[in-house]
Structure 1
Amino acid sequence: MKITVDDKNDSTVAIISGEEIIINNVRDALDLMMNVKYQGCDKMLLRKEQITDDFFELKSGVAGEIAQKYTNYQMRVAIVGEFTSYNSKSLNDFIYECNQGDKMLFESTEAEALAALHLCKSWR
């Protein structure tokens, strides 16, 4: 895993890169968040492939728990990937609702995700 910090005006976003699954459970999500916060960021960008498939199976509770933890600890996150292949109405509704706010975003490209995160006000 590699963390690259993207600065734009007063906004800093941690871009997480790597081929492996980084978030397998809530504990991994919290560890990643603390690592990102140590880098001085309160926003991060992840690829869908870096997150366990359980996240996208809403009945597992992983997505909701991670979203709640990140909100509680003031971490904004954008997840980049192709989400139209999921045939779950509840997941599609979750993605839609998340994209109405600015805490957890789902975007199809890294450029869109980065732009959206930089527009979000910092928690500070």
Structure 2
Amino acid sequence: MPDVVQDRAGVSVLVCDPAGPPVATTQDALDLIGATFLGATVVAVPAERLDPSFFSLGTRFAGEVMQKFVNYRVRLVVFGDISRHLTTSAALRALVAESNRADHVWFLPDLASLDARLRGDP
């Protein structure tokens, strides 16, 4: 399935195909942001599409990507299982926890969790 814009809980979301091209550079992130000009306000990226360097905070790649989304006022949702990355990095666990308390970047287990979060379910 290609990346598609879907209405999810009343919000226009660009849902990225897990088999799509990897997000390995800030230009790749900007390309996803550019795709939101079709009307989406949220980009949901499967964790497996993110280059492994995203989860290694010392590379600063995650920060660069997240900042691009904030600057363009587009929400970023990373969905899927990132547990193997979390078990090896306290800093990543802290980033995920802090991000999930805010409104710009969320790390969620699946799209159903995104729907619940967009609806404001506790």
Aligned-pair distance for 1:118? Answer: 5.4
Distance (whole Å) between structure 2 residues aligned to residue 60 and residue 90 of structure 1: 13
* RMSD between aligned residues: 1.8
Partner secondary structure for residue 15 of structure 2: strand
Q: Judging changes above 3 Å, is the alpha-carbon distance between structure 1 residues 40 and 21 closer, same or farther for their aligned structure 2 residues? A: same
Distance (whole Å) between structure 1 residues aligned to residue 93 and residue 13 of structure 2: 25
Question: TM-score, normalization: structure 2?
Answer: 0.86
Aligned pairs for 1:1-124 (under 5 A) are 2-8=2-8, 10-35=10-35, 37-86=36-85, 87-117=88-118, 119=120
Partner secondary structure for residue 45 of structure 2: strand
Q: Which letter maps to 2:33?
A: M
Judge conservation of contact 1:21–1:52 (CA < 8 Å) in 2: no
Q: Which letter maps to 1:59?
A: G
Identity %: 27
Q: Judging changes above 3 Å, is the alpha-carbon distance between structure 1 residues 4 and 25 closer, same or farther for their aligned structure 2 residues? A: same
Aligned-pair distance for 1:32? Answer: 1.2
Judge conservation of contact 2:32–2:43 (CA < 8 Å) in 1: no
Moved more, 5-14 or 54-63: 5-14
Which stretches of structure 1, 4 residues or longer, exceed 4 Å deviation after superposition?
A: none
Judge conservation of contact 2:9–2:118 (CA < 8 Å) in 1: no
**Unmatched 5+ residue regions in structure 1?**
120-124
Aligned-pair distance for 1:21? Answer: 4.1
Partner secondary structure for residue 74 of structure 1: coil
